[in-house]
Structure 1
Amino acid sequence: MSYRIISADCHIDMTWMPGDLWVKNGPAKFRDRVPQVRQTDDGPRWFAEEKELGVYGGLGFGFDRVQRGFSKHVERMFEVGFYEGGPHPTTPALRLKDQDLDGIDAEVMYGILGIGLRMQDRELIQAVYEVYNSWAADFCKTNPRRFVGLACIPSHDPEAAAKELRRAAALGLKGADFAVSTAAFPIWHGAWDPLWEAAQECRMAISFHTTGYPVREPADDVMKQEYDLRYRATRTTMFQICAAEFLASIVFSGALDRFPGFKFVLGEAGVSWRPYILDRMDEEYEDRYHQLALSMKPSELWRRQGYSTYQHEPFVAVMIPLIGEDNIMWGSDYPHPDGIWPDSQKWIAEDLRSVSPAVQRKILCENAGKLYGLL
């Protein structure tokens, strides 16, 4: 198959998953506590650990009810029939139809990692991820040239993480997603070396997908009711910036030197803030932290082993020579309400109109294709 455009950041969210998947496939001892859909007076809703999470078929990685008029993009999704005919993200034929509508040849699919933020039992979370990874591998087998699944890796124990990554590789998954915010140790900690070693061994890139900047939340329900819109607008605006911590942590950990075959991805992190952080790391390393004895400048380690995805940024063309044409991958963020599906072609043309065809091909196709084994 020949490729023109590969989206390196798409999603399969828990809200769209088969409601009985974990009841049927999870450990028997967890049967009442695994994620599951139950019928309620308010319609089908997701539960986990006996707590209600929200609606089935909700918005993005949350479980909020879909409502017309929520945003211009959600309204656009209604217009093209996304909410008709069944769960598009988890039905292969419907998902392929949506790819075709957007002019996309293949997509890299992030999974249900965010459920780990909603649950407490670490052993149960690991079991949930294992069932998902097996399901995702089977899903991708329906069309392996167009579906690239990323495994969800547990973050409570480095050895367990490495073991699940190797199992996921054996299943045929092409990459992995790791939750920095719930990790048992900071990413700069040497305890994670078993995971980086497994990633290098299996040639699986590990993604650190943005989960939101730690913006101060409303202190109580009264404050939330009055100021929630301001809080959410601030948090949404800052969403990508948390990846600056991920980048500095993995670079200064020394892991990129210890495991030079290990590749990492800053998922949905954007690119326009990157030159400042790369320059800042270089200056601080050369001035105060040279005792870390890296083999090259932090920015050079980034160019050797790092990637970032973006969806729409008016300054991306200016950023390319500053952060590397081999390190940027485009993604639509399908089917999230802040993504650009089904109008990706419009934004690609607008953002990259001044970029040469050869560099466009790298960003839109070759970088992701080579990283995930499609090319």
Structure 2
Amino acid sequence: MPLQPWMKLISVDDHLIEHPMVWQDRLSAKDKERAPRIVETPREGAAPIQSWLYEERPYPYIGLNAVAGKKPEEYGVDPVRYDEMIPGCYDPKARVADMDIDGVEAMMCFPSFPGFCGTVFLKSDDRDLALRCVQAYNDFVLDEWCAAAPGRLIPVVILPLWDAQLAVAEIHRTAAKGAKAISFPDLPHALGLPSLHTDYWDPVLSAAEETGMPLCQHFGSGGATSIPQVAPDAPFAVMINLMGTSSMHATADWVFSPALHKHPKLKIGLSEGGVGWIPYIIERADYVWRKHRYYQNINQDVRPTELFRKHFHGCFIEDDFGVANRHVIGVDRITWECDYPHSDSFWPASRKRAAEAFADVPDDEVHKIVELNARRFYNLPDAAPVPPAAAVR
């Protein structure tokens, strides 16, 4: 069946490239010299390279794989200047125009320079400055990026991860301004933070429950140590192929931790992790639980499968195996993503590729995966009623 024209695609994983003035526009004069700013480095035979500088530390590759619209044969060199990217990377109005070309109704965009969940600021020397930078980023997302197209751009915020109480305050502050999701590291312990098996995160998880905002765990957000370790002489393709394993690791960590038992309303999004692996890892977790729960400090009563179906949702760009096994995963647990402007995206043909992926899937199930599940998980306004003729198709 074709992807019906009345289905509105909502992507739960995309990315923005912060424009040069995000922090300079929002911080005081005394902060500006140490706050994130763009600097230029000359290069022979070409315009200067633009890169971020924060607390005198350079952060190159401002484009972070911002290659939407290029052919795979052209991949390999990330943009190092804003004028080498398409404007939709950093301009919200241009982004919405690119969404219209792609047939996408709404997008949730993760950070680039700060890291997917703000880990650049976690490494700051000056934690007071870092807090102001986190708040400035969130204000940019809420007051500028998403405000340019309410309902089309879905706000996801970052936290001051080094202090649970400050994180709680930022959750409530941003929720009051309209935030819909929280970007949270997939493996906190890999960043040197307390693990999910401690009580450190309890106030944060309670605040997420109270505000109804899912914790979005973008794969690889746990930092370099969460990325699969491959042979030093292996091609980069090996690591790319294994990136989703951090989502598997994170899922196993959650279902054997006490956190989900203490926070029954918590919602967790496995961002850009794919879905085809879910049946295996949950079946394996159930097996481990049945065999080994009696002598370990884990819950004795609730199977990992039950926890997954209650708390988690995954998303995919291209995952034909996952779509074929959607009933094992749970149709209500799957969402769709575009991943603009990264190299995995199909822009400007995302709707066409989605139609191919769902060719053999009934309309009601497609509608859940591409739109309705995201509205439910992220507390988005209800969609317009389905046309009566379509409802009986």
* TM-score for the superposition, normalised by structure 2: 0.81
- Checking the alignment, whether the CA contact within 8 Å between 1:265 and 1:307 is kept in structure 2 is yes
Cα offset, 1:58, TM superposition = 5.0
Post-superposition Cα deviations, 1:131-162, rounded to whole Å, max 9, x if no partner, equal 11011001212222111010012322222222
Q: How does 1:179-190 map to 2 (within 5 A)?
A: 179=185, 180=187, 181-182=190-191, 184-190=193-199
* In structure 2, distance between residues paired with 1:371 and 1:327: 9
* In structure 2, distance between residues paired with 1:85 and 1:247: 35
Cα offset, 1:19, TM superposition = 1.0
- Checking the alignment, whether the CA contact within 8 Å between 1:205 and 1:265 is kept in structure 2 is yes
Secondary structure of 1:245's aligned partner: helix
Which residue of 100, 119, 124 maps to 1:121?
Answer: 124
Which residue of 163, 166, 178 maps to 1:160?
Answer: 166
Cα offset, 1:276, TM superposition = 1.1
Post-superposition Cα deviations, 1:298-338, rounded to whole Å, max 9, x if no partner, equal 11111111111111012122221111111110101111122
Secondary structure of 2:25's aligned partner: helix
* In structure 2, distance between residues paired with 1:87 and 1:296: 49
Which residue of 249, 252, 255 maps to 2:259?
Answer: 255
- Checking the alignment, whether the CA contact within 8 Å between 1:271 and 1:319 is kept in structure 2 is no
Call closer, same or farther: CA 1:39–1:263 in 2, change over 3 Å. same
- Checking the alignment, whether the CA contact within 8 Å between 1:27 and 1:127 is kept in structure 2 is no
1:10 aligns to 2:14 (yes or no): yes
Secondary structure of 1:292's aligned partner: coil
The residue aligned with 1:209 is 218
1:46 aligns to 2:49 (yes or no): no
- Checking the alignment, whether the CA contact within 8 Å between 1:325 and 1:363 is kept in structure 2 is yes
- Checking the alignment, whether the CA contact within 8 Å between 1:108 and 1:150 is kept in structure 2 is yes
Which residue of 363, 366, 371 maps to 1:360?
Answer: 366
The residue aligned with 1:342 is 348
* In structure 2, distance between residues paired with 1:349 and 1:177: 29
Post-superposition Cα deviations, 1:12-50, rounded to whole Å, max 9, x if no partner, equal 1xxx31212213323555432221112332243221221
Q: How does 1:91-130 map to 2 (within 5 A)?
A: 91-112=91-112, 113-114=114-115, 116-118=118-120, 120-121=123-124, 123=127, 124-130=129-135
Please tell me the residue identity of whatever aligns with 1:164. Answer: E
Cα offset, 1:55, TM superposition = 4.5
- Checking the alignment, whether the CA contact within 8 Å between 2:252 and 2:285 is kept in structure 1 is yes
The residue aligned with 1:89 is 89
Cα offset, 1:8, TM superposition = 1.2
The residue aligned with 1:306 is 312
Q: How does 1:246-285 map to 2 (within 5 A)?
A: 246-285=250-289
Please tell me the residue identity of whatever aligns with 2:195. Answer: P
The residue aligned with 1:71 is 72
* In structure 1, distance between residues paired with 2:96 and 2:139: 20
Please tell me the residue identity of whatever aligns with 2:41. Answer: T
- Checking the alignment, whether the CA contact within 8 Å between 1:187 and 1:246 is kept in structure 2 is no
* In structure 2, distance between residues paired with 1:310 and 1:302: 17
Call closer, same or farther: CA 1:21–1:191 in 2, change over 3 Å. same
* In structure 2, distance between residues paired with 1:162 and 1:304: 23
* In structure 2, distance between residues paired with 1:191 and 1:160: 13
1:197 aligns to 2:203 (yes or no): no
Secondary structure of 1:288's aligned partner: helix
* In structure 2, distance between residues paired with 1:56 and 1:149: 21
* In structure 1, distance between residues paired with 2:338 and 2:266: 25
Q: Which has the higher helix share?
A: 1
Unaligned runs of at least 5 residues, structure 1: 61-65
The residue aligned with 1:136 is 141
Call closer, same or farther: CA 1:3–1:198 in 2, change over 3 Å. farther
* In structure 2, distance between residues paired with 1:87 and 1:67: 11
| Deviates further, 322-331 or 177-186 | 177-186
* In structure 1, distance between residues paired with 2:286 and 2:262: 19
Cα offset, 1:237, TM superposition = 0.8
Unaligned runs of at least 5 residues, structure 2: 1-5, 43-47, 383-393
Secondary structure of 1:8's aligned partner: strand
Call closer, same or farther: CA 1:6–1:23 in 2, change over 3 Å. same
* In structure 2, distance between residues paired with 1:271 and 1:251: 17
* TM-score for the superposition, normalised by structure 1: 0.85
* In structure 1, distance between residues paired with 2:140 and 2:247: 28
* In structure 2, distance between residues paired with 1:346 and 1:89: 21
* In structure 1, distance between residues paired with 2:36 and 2:251: 32
Secondary structure of 1:130's aligned partner: helix
| Deviates further, 88-97 or 200-209 | 88-97
The number of residue pairs the alignment matches comes to 353
